Structure 1
Amino acid sequence: MPAAKSKKAVFSTGVAKGRDLLDSAISTSAIDEDRIQEIGARTLGEVLRTVPGIRVEDTGNGGYANYTIRGLPLAGLGSKFLQFQEDGLPVLEFGDLAQLQPDMLIHADLNLSRIESIRGGSASTFASNSPGGVINFISKTGEDEGGSIQLSTGLVHLDRKRGDFEYGGRLSTNLRFHLGGYYQTGAGTRDAGASAFHGGQVKLNITRDFANGYVRVYAKVLDDREAFFTTGPMRVTGTDANPTFNTIANFDPRVNNTISKNMPNVLSVGVDPKVVRTELAQGWHAKSAALGLEAKFDIASWTFVNRMRYSSNASAVGGSQPVILTSAPVLAAMFGGPGAQFSYATGPNAGRPVTNPATLNGNGLASFSSINNMGAPKADYFVNDFRASRVWNVGGGDLTTTGGVYKAYQKLTAKLFMDTAFQDFAGPDSALLDLTTAGGTKLTQGGIAAFSIWPITVLGNRYFDADYDITAPYGSLNFHTGRLSVGGSVRYDSGRVKGQRYGIEMGGNRTRWMPFDINGDGVISPPERWADGIRADQPAPMDYAYHYLSYSIGVNFRVSQNFAAFARYSKGGRALAETIVFTPTLDPVTGKPASSKDTYNPVRQAEAGVKFRTEALTLNLTGFVANTAEQNFQVNADANGVLTLVPFSRSYRAYGAEFEGSYAHGPFSITAAATYTHAEIKSDNTDATIAGNTPRHQPKLIMQAMPVVDLGAVSFGSSVVYTGSSYAQDVNKLKMPAFTTVNAFVEYRPVDRITLSVNGSNLFNALGVTEVTQASIPADGIVSARVMNGRTVAAAIRFNF
């Protein structure tokens, strides 16, 4: 059964040398290709929600989810303390880039052989910027001759057609290859009335085997466009401590989005200033072309491994996010004065007045929204990891020594251009709204209120171009004798950052609001009076260095053949990248911080646990504690309900326990896991009143279970994930309720080499709220929230050959 396949597998991610897990003082998990298919996930985040200790805020974007581990803070975006790797190398140097996140560049398809994860432990020293852990996506490399083709289609609330293929085998006695990929198209899981999914990827690797090692060349081309789901309106009743979240009329965030077929391409103001176009319906669009080399040889009792990859990456993200969400009459009066009136700016009703705004679309709601044109036009990445290991016979035991050097160059050009607009909420028929005063003055242009985020916030358009140069030598010693293993590892990260940044936060006249004829009609309309242009002739520099030491010490004792106990203490770090570019941390004149300690966040962790394994049963139990310092920013609502950006500097402490187990007997198998976390904000330099509070979005309990029955011709099972309640914001008022999602699958093999399958995701249509902008229930009961996808069902046919 799939659950038992990986129990005795040698684990190689985040360690010096692969070894039996009962002889290793680390916490790990692995998911093989069969289990990945059975989970029936629509997104990578859904797959990773089944991994113990990992918390995933996945709202069905296909990427752009948020990830953390063992109570480490998740204040911002992406995977700040958790590194994503593909075949042993990072996908991006930093996992929390707002414009391009690692899960936009990795997709679960038939190329995948296995997903390995390591939590804490030696992840701090065998990878940079990964103190929480490493998730490694390992590709097939042609060891097994054959391949497969799979065609799938959505059946319920899923408009997606997808084709996958893979084939591998030997070209000669010492040459093997693997080729695979996918292509998909459709509207996706939330009906926007237009296609949101286009694209796919192709991966190829060729391996030349030698008597003492191998050389592998691999390539990947990715061009994928998927939907981008932001927060949308929900109604909340009850109290902050015991709220009830409900959908509003004509807008269910499980199946609707703020973007619809009626959302046009809009114009924004870019650098110096130039007009740029935002395709709202595009969602996010990621491109990557990668070429890599891996070599491993045993020479004179030493094992040498070198992994190298260059990838040319780029992204574009377009979306609409409510800044002020309230009733349509209130919003019209707020911006247009008494008697102001909305009319439709886009869609089939364009030009018609909204005759009864209080009942608009049956919900009476409208928003003043930020229309975002963001992305990373250039995010090229080169990385090389070289290591040498040797096992010495010392005192009747094995002493494993490892030394290596990690080198990486991350290029990052990032943009954020913003307009503001009025919009309604009518599911796939949502549209932009024009606003006219009682005196007949039109305040908008095609629904656009301003070609900036003015007058709500001083936040302005941003652009920066930076180069990150990272060098990290590392080494480890591990001594194994009899039942005892003792080891330690160390890593020294140093980085050099140079670049330029443009934005109002830099002071002076670098960004300005000004009249600008966006559409070139020779007339300055009211929205064109407030155009946010960036002056390219007044950059602020980025010029600083950082360095920090990481280390990890562990001991493992194999009590018996089936039972082991371990303990480990680690200190790691995470260099700050984009999150400090537009903050006071970097001086606007020199581009340097007051101290190099302001450019990275340290993480200290301790863990201890026991492991038990037989042919049928595996049980792991680990206790952990982590202390973290963090500088970051987060988006929430101010006292007036207006979306705002809040920078902070604080410290956290988290402790808890993690359980993982699996059992197989005959046709039945089950894997299960549970993570209990008590997390606390220890101090906050910006708001001392939240010290002692629980960090936002942090549940105390997360549980997963996946039972499977395999009867040969038929197999079936489910994946159940429970996420406990958590606070919407750090002030600990409004709670987001606990929720459980249930996925299920059935596979039928009518003849050899053909498999028919049906899988369902969130079968009971749970309303899983993962984000709420407001800290407390507003007077009108309307909040801006992000939720899990609703119920979806898909079918597939797979041919193996």
Structure 2
Amino acid sequence: MEASFELANQWKIKNNGRFSLNKGSFVSPFPSEIGTASAIATSFAPDAQLQFTDGTAVNANSLVARIHMFDVTLNNFNNFVNDFKLSKSFETINVTLGYFKAIQNISMSWLWNSYLQEVNDDNARLINVIDGTNTNLSQNGLYAYGTPFGVIAVTEIMIPQYNVSAPYANLTIEIADAFTIDASARYDLGRVDGSFAGTVQTQFDINNDGIISQPEQSVSAIDNANSTAVNYEYDYFSYSLGLNYKINKRQSLFTRISKGASAKADRILFADLNYQDGEAINSLDFIEQLEAGYKRGFNNGALYATIFHAKTSEEGGFEATSNSIIENDYKSYGIELEGFYTISNVNLRGAVTYTKAEIDSGDNEGNTPRRQPDLIYNFIPSYNFGKEKQNAIGINFVGQTKAYAQDSNELIMPGFVMINGFANIGITKSLNANISVNNIFDTIGITEVEEGSIVENQTNYVRARPLPGRSMTLGLQYKF
């Protein structure tokens, strides 16, 4: 819903509201361990052996992955947001008073299952475990309804509701023709209500065949009888102050200082905190930022340069895959360059950001934050053609330099550049075709690594998340 009204004395009211019904699910494998078949088998029993589901033996020296399968149901992610504004423009001053309201449900069930699977990039096969008495400890590769191995949280359900109210004000002042000041302030008050539950082990006939199989003898179930109540409030004040100086019609200087925060929401759960007392938990992450820059326009393009410095806190957030609580402060500074230029039918766009980031607390103080490259960049040249320049072909370069896998800074993920392409062709006046190719050269770009180090002169296995491989999309658009 969107509505706007003009009141007396040139006051204006504008309201934007939205209500969304959201639910869904996702299933995704997470490799919790990689090892030889003999080592994985021994972890179940000294005399255990591994077999593929067709009954053939698994070579003792081949690699096997222990898979924890994310099976997540998003039960209720409904939300309501509304932004109400009252504004008026005076001769050199614009005033806006507003009230923001948001209600977000977060109800989801995390149901983990455990499998064994060969390490193979082409139709990897599932693997069963057979003990010394020839008893099958698994069923079609599934050896547990839950995650008995490792430290990943087993089964959990979260049902908190986040209710946010935030009055705010914005003031813009034009001083002469060249100087503009804008200032804004906002006060957020949040209320969190609900509960969450961990896991309890039980026997359960999952497939309803009347038999309690080996995996069904210890099934991880949601422990609703011992759920944890959540009922706390938080509040914070945020502000922004910006200055802009217009040198001439094509050049300007600007600077801004700001401070804000965000609530950790469901990421603060399962951290063994007092969820009845908002003062006793770190429910917020804060950021302070200072930036300054220069804008320059040309006949056929523009260039923007911004330097920045930021301080960020990330304290008390729970990470499910490592079953750990992240408590880091960060500081960073850098420069961002962005621009575009058109030469006849050729359009050039690009951006590059240099960031020098540093952990500012804890055991890893002074190190670079994990997964943070020094340089990220993109460059997009394109060519428009046709009578009305309705056709276009282009290529997109997206890349980054190397980054550390974890905060310990012992293992490096290499840099990469991914190349994408696109073409838009007008077949007729009403019919258009477009084709896009993602990752044309099937570049391997590693964005995350679970391990933080490797041991020299030993065999090491690293679990990594790469960029998606090459894919192509063809679309047709008809206007009538």
TM-score by length of 2: 0.93
Q: Distance in 2 between matches of 1:368 and 1:765?
A: 27
Give the Cα–Cα distance (whole angstroms) in 2 for the partners of residues 332 and 474 of structure 1: 61
Q: CA deviation at 1:460?
A: 2.8
Cα distance change of structure 1 residues 498 and 749 upon mapping to structure 2, 3 Å threshold:
closer
Instruction: Tell me, in whole angstroms, the C-alpha distance in 2 between the residues paired with 1:593 and 1:529.
Output: 40
| Alpha-carbon spacing, 1:792–1:419, altered in 2? closer, same or farther (3 Å) | closer
1:715–1:748 contact (8 Å) kept in structure 2? yes
Q: Deviations over 1:155-194 (max 9, x none)?
A: xxxxxxxxxxxxxxxxxxxxxxxxxxxxxxxxxxxxxxxx
- What is the Cα deviation at residue 448 of structure 1? 1.8
**1:474-529, Cα deviation, whole Å (9 max, x unpaired):** 001110131000121000000111111111xxxxxxx4323333334444333223
Structure 1 position 769, deviation (Å)? 0.8
Residue 225 of structure 2 aligns to a residue whose secondary structure is: coil
CA contact (8 A) 2:402 2:412 kept: yes
**Alignment match of 2:3 (pick from 279, 295, 313):** 295
Aligned partner of 1:341 in structure 2 is: 49
Counterpart in 2 of 1:789? 468
The 8 Å contact of residues 608 and 624 in structure 1, kept in 2 or not, is answered as yes
Q: Does 1:412 align with 2:106?
A: yes
Give 3-state SS (helix, strand or coil) of 2:215's partner.
helix
Bigger Cα displacement from structure 2, 672-681 vs 420-429: 420-429
Alignment of 1:376-775 (within 5 A): 376-393=74-91, 398-427=92-121, 429-457=123-151, 459-481=153-175, 482-503=177-198, 511-587=199-275, 591-595=276-280, 598-631=282-315, 632-634=317-319, 644-684=322-362, 688=363, 690-712=364-386, 714-775=391-452
- Within the alignment, does 1:331 sit opposite 2:40 as a pair? yes
Partner SS, residue 558 of structure 1: strand
| Code of the aligned partner of 2:475 | A
Q: Where does structure 2 lack aligned partners over 5 or more consecutive residues?
A: none
- SS of residue in 1 equivalent to 2:353: strand
Cα distance in 2 between the residues matched to 1:551 and 1:627: 15
C-alpha deviations, 1:701-737, integer Å up to 9, x for none?
0111111111226432111112111011111111111
Instruction: Tell me the amino acid that sits aligned with residue 310 of structure 2.
Output: A
Kindly indicate whether the alpha-carbon contact (under 8 Å) linking 1:368 and 1:423 is maintained by their aligned counterparts in 2: yes
Q: What amino acid maps onto 2:46 in structure 1?
A: G
Assess if the C-alpha contact under 8 Å between 1:580 and 1:586 holds in 2: no
Q: Distance in 1 between matches of 2:313 and 2:38?
A: 45
* Structure 1 counterpart SS, 2:454: coil
Change (3 A) 1:302 1:615: farther
**Aligned-partner Cα distance in 2 for 1:621–1:376:** 42
Q: Give the Cα–Cα distance (whole angstroms) in 2 for the partners of residues 575 and 499 of structure 1.
A: 16
- For 1:314, the equivalent position in structure 2 comes to 23
* Cα offset, 1:747, TM superposition: 3.3
**RCO comparison, higher one (Cα < 8 Å, 6+):** 1
**Separation of aligned partners in 2, 1:320 and 1:408:** 33
Note the C-alpha offset of 1:751: 3.8
Q: CA separation of 1:429/1:483 partners in 2, compared to 1, >3 Å: closer, same or farther?
A: same
SS in 1 for 2:305: strand
Q: Secondary structure of 1:537's partner?
A: helix
* TM score, norm. by length of structure 1: 0.57
Structure number with higher strand proportion = 2
Shift of 1:427: 3.8
Mapped to 1, the partners of 2:427 and 2:18 lie a distance apart of 43
CA distance in 2, matches of 1:426, 1:308: 49
Distance in 2 between residues matched to 1:675 and 1:663, nearest whole Å: 18
Could you tell me how far apart the structure 1 residues matched to 2:108 and 2:52 are?
Answer: 33
Q: 1:389 Cα shift? A: 1.3
**What is the total number of aligned residue pairs between the two structures?**
472
Q: Which amino acid aligns with 1:374?
A: V
SS at match of 1:429: coil
- Structure-2 separation of matches of 1:498 and 1:762: 44
Q: For 2:83 and 2:165, locate their aligned partners in 1 and report how far apart those are by CA, in whole Å.
A: 10
Per the alignment, in what secondary structure is the counterpart of residue 782 of structure 1? coil
Cα distance in 2 for residues equivalent to 1:796 and 1:540: 49
Q: Could you tell me how far 1:606 is from its partner in structure 2? A: 0.4
* The structure with more radius of gyration: 2
The correspondence of residues 42-53 of structure 1 with structure 2, limited to 5 A, is none
Alpha-carbon distance change, 633 to 501 in structure 1, aligned in 2, over 3 angstroms: closer
Q: Which amino acid counterpart does residue 190 of structure 2 have in structure 1?
A: G
- Cα distance in 1 for partners of 2:57, 2:66 equals 16
Q: Using the alignment, how far apart are the partners of 1:692 and 1:453 within structure 2?
A: 35
**How far does the alpha carbon of each residue in 1:556-587 deviate from its partner, in whole angstroms, 9 at most, with x for none?**
00011100001110000101210112112334
CA RMSD in angstroms comes to 1.9
Corresponding residue for 1:356? 59
User: Aligned partners of 1:518 and 1:793: how far apart in 2?
Assistant: 40
Q: Which amino acid aligns with 1:695?
A: P
Alpha-carbon contact 1:634-1:645 (below 8 Å) kept? yes
Q: Distance in 2 between matches of 1:750 and 1:513?
A: 62
Percent identical residues: 30
How much does 1:535 deviate? 3.0
Counterpart contact for 1:661–1:671, Cα < 8 Å: yes
TM-superposed CA distance for 1:455, in Å, is: 4.0
Q: Which amino acid aligns with 1:471?
A: S
* Contact 2:12 2:87 (8 Å CA) reproduced: yes
Verify the 8 A CA contact 1:635 1:773 in the aligned structure 2: no
Distance 1:736 1:305 in 2: 48
- Stretches of structure 1 lacking an aligned partner (at least 5 in a row): 1-292, 359-363, 504-510, 637-643
Cα distance in 2 between the residues matched to 1:797 and 1:409: 38
Aligned partners of 2:252 and 2:147: how far apart in 1? 58
Q: What pairs with 1:78-97 in structure 2 (closer than 5 Å)?
A: none
